[in-house]
Amino acid sequence: QLQLVESGGGLVQPGGSLRLSCTASGFTLDLYAIGWFRQAPGKEREGVSCISSIGTSTNYAGSVKGRFTVSRDGVQNMVYLQMNSLKPDDTAVYYCAARMIRCSALAGDFASWGQGTQVTVSS
E strands in 10-76: 10-12, 18-24, 32-39, 46-51, 58-60, 68-73
Residue 1 confidence (pLDDT) above 80 = no
The string of pLDDT tens digits covering residues 19-49 is: 999 999 888 898 899 999 999 999 999 999 9
Stretch 71-92: mean pLDDT: 96
Report which residue type is found at 18.
L
Mean pLDDT of 69-73: 95
What pLDDT was estimated at residue 113? 95
93-114 mean pLDDT: 93
Q: Which residues contact 72 (CB under 8 A, 6 or more apart)?
A: 29, 30, 34, 51, 55, 78, 79, 80
Answer yes or no: is pLDDT of 92 > 90: yes
pLDDT of residue 2: 80
Whether 51 contacts 79, CB under 8 Å: yes
Q: How far is CA 90 from CA 6, 38, 63, in A?
A: 17, 9, 9
Mean pLDDT to the nearest integer, 46-73: 94
Q: What is the C-alpha separation between 42 and 39, in angstroms, rounded?
A: 8
What percent of the chain clears pLDDT 90, i.e. is strictly above it? 85
